[in-house]
Amino acid sequence: AMQETEIALKQQLHQSQTLIQKLKVGAEQGVEVSSWRAKYDYACKQRDDAVSERDALRASCQAAREEAEELKRRNDELAAELLGFKGMSEQAQDSAESRRRDLEKRAQSMEKSAKEAEAARDKAHKDAEAAREDSKHWQERASAAQEV
């Protein structure tokens, strides 16, 4: 599920970048301001959607970290309790430790995905800002052309 979300975020970022590029080309070719303004607004909405998904991913990552910490705590309690019994099974201890390591890896993976999503959001924000600047520039050119 995390990989699917990451893929979806990357696709949205690519779509936003493509749309911003089309806005630039359209503006250079004299497309009406209102047309590419709507596209710009759509790119901004896609960026906002990516931010929302990133925030959800962060929350999920935090929940997984908390679950891993709780499992580690419970694992430590159980290990201490088991030490009191003679003939503690090494296999059970190894299994509990393996589960804890797996959960830690999962939390790290989710954290990495959240960082990648944040980087994608930042890139989309920068692209949207560049598009906003281009929009401003082309609006000024369109106004100047209309005055002539």
d(CA 76, CA 61): 22
Phi, psi of 125 (to 5 degrees): -65, -45
How many percent of the chain have pLDDT more than 70? 82
Number of domains in the chain: 1
Residue type, position 64, single letter: A
* Owning domain of residue 123: 2-147
Which pTM was predicted?
Answer: 0.36
Dihedral sign for Cα 31, 33, 34, 38, please. positive
pLDDT of 77-101, one tens digit each?
887 776 666 555 677 777 888 888 9
Q: Cβ(39)–Cβ(19) under 8 Å?
A: yes
Q: How confident is the model at residue 9 (pLDDT cuts 50, 70, 90)?
A: confident
Q: Cβ(105)–Cβ(68) under 8 Å?
A: no
* Count of CA atoms in the C-beta half-sphere (13 A) of 64: 21
